[in-house]
Amino acid sequence: MELISGWNTWWKQWSTWLVAIGSSVVGFAPELMEIWRSLPIEVQASFPVEWLRYFGVTLVLASIPAKLVRQQKLYEQSRGGF
């Protein structure tokens, strides 16, 4: 098994950040619901609570096409051009 070029920049890639934040939103949904309940009614009325879960799932799904987008700076680093 051989690592791909640029493997050491995995933590800088958009796809990594999107999937990490999205899965955190989905994974911590019960805790976020408690925070939601403590917010003022005016804030709660601004958008439905279900949007939290949809937001998390959308971020996770957005990580798939984000993996296909070349981040020029990271690409140059993986090629050795600093």
Q: Answer whether residue 30 is part of any domain.
A: yes
Q: Answer whether residue 8 is part of any domain.
A: no
Q: At what angle do helices 29-38 and 50-68 cross, to 10 degrees?
A: 130
Tell me the residue range of the domain where 35 lies: 22-78
Q: Answer whether residue 1 is part of any domain.
A: no
Total of domains in the chain? 1
Q: Answer whether residue 10 is part of any domain.
A: no
Q: Quick: pLDDT tens for 14-51.
A: 899 999 999 999 899 888 888 888 989 998 888 888 88
Predicted confidence band of residue 81 (pLDDT cuts 50, 70, 90): low
Q: Answer whether residue 15 is part of any domain.
A: no
Q: Answer whether residue 28 is part of any domain.
A: yes
- Cα torsion for 14, 55, 36, 49, to the nearest 10°? 180
- Cα torsion for 53, 56, 58, 64, to the nearest 10°? -150
Q: Answer whether residue 51 is part of any domain.
A: yes
Q: Answer whether residue 59 is part of any domain.
A: yes
pLDDT of residue 30: 86
